[in-house]
Amino acid sequence: MAAAVGVLLISSAAPAATALVVSADADARVVRVRPNTNFGSAPRLVSDASPRTESFLRFRVTRVRASERVAKARLRLYAADASSNGPAIYTTAATWSEKRITWRNRPPRTSRRLANTGSVRGRSWVEFDVTSAVRGNGTYSFVLAPTSGDLSTHSREARTLRPQLVLTTKKGTPLPASSDPVLAGAGDIATGGSANYDEATAKVLDSINPTRVFTAGDSAYPDGSLSEFNAHYRPTWGRHKAKTRPSPGNHDYHTSGASGYFAYFGAAAGSPSRPYYAYKLGSWRIYSLNSEIDSGSTSRQVTWLKNDLAANARGKCVLAYWHQPLKSAGPHGDESDVQPLFSALYNAGADVVVNGHDHNYQRWAPLNASGRVDQARGIRQFVVGTGGAGLYRLTSHPSALLAYSDKVYGVLKLVLHASSYDFEFVPIAGQKYTDSGSGPCHGERIAPSPGRPSSTYPVRGIIDRDSSATGFEDLAALGFNYIDSGPYKDQLDPLAARGLKGFIWLGGYSESRCAFRKSNAWIRSHVSAIAGHPAIGGYYIDDEPDDAVNCPNVVAQIKARNQLVKSLDPGPPTFLVLYKVDWFQRFVGATDIMVADAYPCSRKNGCDYSVIDRAIAELNRLDVRYWAMIQAFGDDWHRVPTPEELHQQFLRWRASRMKGYFVFAWHWPANDSTLWLANHPELQAQLAEENAR
């Protein structure tokens, strides 16, 4: 959710007696240099720029009365030590576990910066104004991310002075309820049994009163006949029939052709000849699919799904439901036959999949098309076989399974916002298990340009990782495979271990001295020491030598430096970066590759994409091998692009003959961290999408 920047308050006073104080229900720090380590039980939360450390906190607000509204929300932390420059705070997806969260699986941010600290006194309370993010009852998750300094605060595991979310409520007209649509349902529903669990879950639907109800298969037991629908389903979930959009399960097909299912639901179920369909719910595209018929990669169903996704789901949030899940920890287990359905959805940028079949509740980490965890682009999968039929015990507990219960009946409630969603498992009366959270939508996947194969570019580079030997994990997680490096083995070895490449910065050219900053002797020593290293992807000879207008020999000097490097390590390509189109011709042949940094977005003129078009036209005319430099930063002259403006840059470059690209820059400029790509999760998400093509 977007939010305005708040004001930091520092106080040692206790909160007002009339305030509602909520304790954290989970908190943990994560550390980049220890990407697989969980620190959920540590008594301190830490945010630190080096080594990069972030801290996550989650609060469940349940005691705001219907007649009140939140007038003020403050997150309070007790600072154990002083800090010259404390962290910024953002909202995040709430789908993480205190005992399992690590740097590698941490959730994405879902807002711009809410508040930022300056200096912090030690042994005092620090307060962040998060009013813009907290509207009332619900689950709220935050991350403390360092700017340039560090801060250590008490966690909820500390003996005293634990984190608090302090709400000041105001009597009177509450905030208006969200008008966003609500989708609710489950699978494996009506049995007519004496325990009446199907009636109990129907009462949960009554209380939610959703916009639409879904069924994830096996609506009427044991065989899905019309008489069973009328006897078992109609008296319970049938009272929501007018708003129900069903999907069939294997028990529905116990009756030939699922004829009872189609006879009961009528046109709302599609048709026997096309037993799958799509519909619009708010701004979302919803798909009811069928796991009980052919779902092979060339089947009619998958072909229809791909076509509909391309025609009707571009740029939209997408949810799909069907009966048998791709992944399940229940006795039925994984169902590989539905992988083409999951793959088509994943490739189109879908966000949520809901299934039944195993009679229990499961929430999985975001999954890719193969069922592996993918935090950046994965689909959130739920198994909700809890509609009323007898429950099944789980048979395994894989690490990707984030939440589960095999002892509860209930329904899944989803609030579908314009660019995000909230989820809540709501149990039947008398049962206590629940699970809730939120997540951002991925947005549109990037389709390949006409004439290009649907495959990633071999060179997907980014500039300005941190200075540590392993400061590339964030970048690799976004799909980058070329990372800037120095000519040092300790920076290249970790890249090689991950199958990544480094492009080697060699110091560059000084326009003020009309000479290279590094001597030929330095080049010989350092390049010779790493020559032949498997992680070398190229040598970065210089950046923007076209600024050297007062250096008449600059072209000859660049060529001579290039020849020296090639004599020491002839295999990897060499390149330089240029921005003046009328200077491109002067540097033809100076290096193996020319990189054009045609940055379109400025503070003064907005985004003028014609600068990219002019650069491409000249590069094509010169018939040189070239890469693109993509703008993902701001400074005194340039403006940070939006995700759509970033996408427009890629669209233009993909229509050219470029062989790869770099993105500038992760930590730029040095004097304003608010402009860093590292602090813009919405741009990181867009880059993950671009790198997938």
Q: Compute the CA torsion angle 653, 655, 660, 661 (nearest 10 deg).
A: 10
Higher confidence at residue 521 or residue 169? Answer: 521
* Direct distance between the N- and C-terminal alpha carbons of the chain, in angstroms, rounded to an integer: 27
Burial of residue 446, with CB atoms counted within 10 A of its CB: 0-12 exposed, 13-18 middle, 19 or more buried: middle
Question: If you count DSSP H runs as helices and E runs as strands, how many of each does the chain have, helices first?
Answer: 12, 37
pLDDT at 80: 87
Higher confidence at residue 147 or residue 598? Answer: 598
pLDDT score of 673 more than 70: yes
Asked if 594 and 565 count as a contact pair (C-beta separation under 8 A), the reply is no
- Pairing type for strands 318-321 and 284-288 reads parallel
Token code pair at residue 299: 């089947």
CA distance 672 to 635: 8
How distant is the alpha carbon of residue 4 from its chain centre?
Answer: 21
The residues, any chain, with a CB within 8 Å of residue 80's CB and separated by 6 or more, are: 44, 122, 123, 152, 153, 154
Nearest C-alpha neighbor of 384 from the set 426, 351, 344, 416: 426
Residues of the chain with pLDDT > 70, as a percent, come to: 92
Token code pair at residue 156: 């909820």
Would the CA dihedral through 82, 85, 91, 95 be positive or negative? Answer: negative
Length of the chain: 693
* DSSP states along 77-128: EEESS-BSS--EEEEB-S---TTT--TTTPPPB-SS--EE---B-SSEEEEE
**2.60.120, 2.40.10, 2.30.30, 2.40.50: CATH of 8-171:** 2.60.120
pLDDT score of 169 more than 90: no
pLDDT at 618: 92
Average pLDDT of the segment spanning 513-542: 95
Per DSSP, what are the bridge partners of residue 420?
440
**Residue 453, number of CB atoms within 10 A of its CB:** 7
pLDDT score of 176 more than 90: no
Asked if 73 and 166 count as a contact pair (C-beta separation under 8 A), the reply is yes
pLDDT at 475: 84
CA distance 383 to 459: 38
CA angle 88, 414, 191 (to 5 degrees): 145
pLDDT at 438: 76
Rounded (to 5) percent helix, strand, coil in the chain? 25, 30, 45
Average pLDDT of the segment spanning 165-177: 67
How distant is the alpha carbon of residue 468 from its chain centre?
Answer: 25
Please state, in angstroms and as integers, the Cα–Cα distance from residue 191 to each residue in 202, 232, 354, 387, following that order.
13, 6, 21, 10
Asked if 75 and 127 count as a contact pair (C-beta separation under 8 A), the reply is yes
CA distance 217 to 322: 7
Q: Give the CB-side neighbour count of residue 391, counting CA atoms within 13 A.
A: 17
DSSP state of 389: S
Which residue's entry shows tokens 């697989």? 36
Which residue's entry shows tokens 């994943």? 346
Please give the single-letter amino acid code of residue 381: Q
Average pLDDT of the segment spanning 127-139: 85
Nearest C-alpha neighbor of 33 from the set 485, 473, 496, 492: 473
Higher confidence at residue 340 or residue 65? Answer: 340
Please state, in angstroms and as integers, the Cα–Cα distance from residue 294 to each residue in 215, 319, 352, 682, following that order.
20, 20, 22, 37
pLDDT score of 130 more than 80: yes
Least confident of 196-200, 277-281, 465-469, 553-557: 465-469
pLDDT score of 229 more than 50: yes
Three-state SS at 211: coil
CA distance 240 to 243: 6
What band does 680 get if pLDDT is binned at 50, 70 and 90?
confident
Please give the single-letter amino acid code of residue 692: A
Residues of the chain with pLDDT > 90, as a percent, come to: 55
| Residue 9: φ, ψ to 5° | -120, 140
Q: Domain 459-691: which CATH class?
A: alpha beta
pLDDT at 690: 84
Extract long-range pairs of 491-498: CB within 8 Å, 24+ residues apart. Answer: 492/530, 492/533, 492/535, 492/536, 493/469, 493/535, 494/469, 494/470, 495/535, 496/533, 496/534, 496/535, 498/472
Asked if 145 and 90 count as a contact pair (C-beta separation under 8 A), the reply is yes
pLDDT at 672: 83
The residues, any chain, with a CB within 8 Å of residue 579's CB and separated by 6 or more, are: 544, 546, 596, 597, 598, 599
Which residue's entry shows tokens 């080049």? 523
CA distance 643 to 607: 12
pLDDT score of 5 more than 60: no
Using H for helix, E for strand and C for coil, what is the string for 667-689? CCCCCCHHHCHHHCHHHHHHHHH
CA distance 190 to 231: 9
pLDDT at 465: 66
CA distance 441 to 420: 5
The CA radius of gyration of the chain, in Å to the nearest whole number, is: 28
**Residue 333, number of CB atoms within 10 A of its CB:** 15
| Residue 305: φ, ψ to 5° | -60, -45
Least confident of 254-263, 327-336, 488-497: 488-497
* DSSP states along 285-341: EEEE--TTS---TTSHHHHHHHHHHHHH-TTS-EEEE-SS-SS-SSTT---GGGHHH
What band does 226 get if pLDDT is binned at 50, 70 and 90?
very high
Three-state SS at 473: helix
Per DSSP, what are the bridge partners of residue 140?
59
Average pLDDT of the segment spanning 38-64: 90
Which residue's entry shows tokens 């789908």? 95
Over residues 410-442, the pLDDT tens digits come to: 999 998 887 788 899 999 999 988 888 777 787
pLDDT at 373: 82
Please give the single-letter amino acid code of residue 402: L
pLDDT score of 390 more than 70: yes
Q: Compute the CA torsion angle 202, 207, 212, 217 (nearest 10 deg).
A: -20
Q: What is the mean pLDDT of the chain?
A: 87
Token code pair at residue 559: 């060529």
Which residue ranges make up each domain of the chain? 8-171, 182-440, 459-691
Superfamily of domain 182-440: Metallo-dependent phosphatases (3.60.21.10)
What band does 137 get if pLDDT is binned at 50, 70 and 90?
confident
- Pairing type for strands 626-631 and 660-664 reads parallel
Three-state SS at 169: strand
Please state, in angstroms and as integers, the Cα–Cα distance from residue 73 to each residue in 2, 91, 671, following that order.
16, 13, 30
Top mean pLDDT of 78-87, 144-153, 496-505, 586-595 is at: 586-595
pLDDT at 179: 64
Token code pair at residue 52: 């990069």
Over residues 443-494, the pLDDT tens digits come to: 544 333 333 333 357 889 998 765 454 567 778 878 889 999 999 998 898 8
DSSP state of 70: E
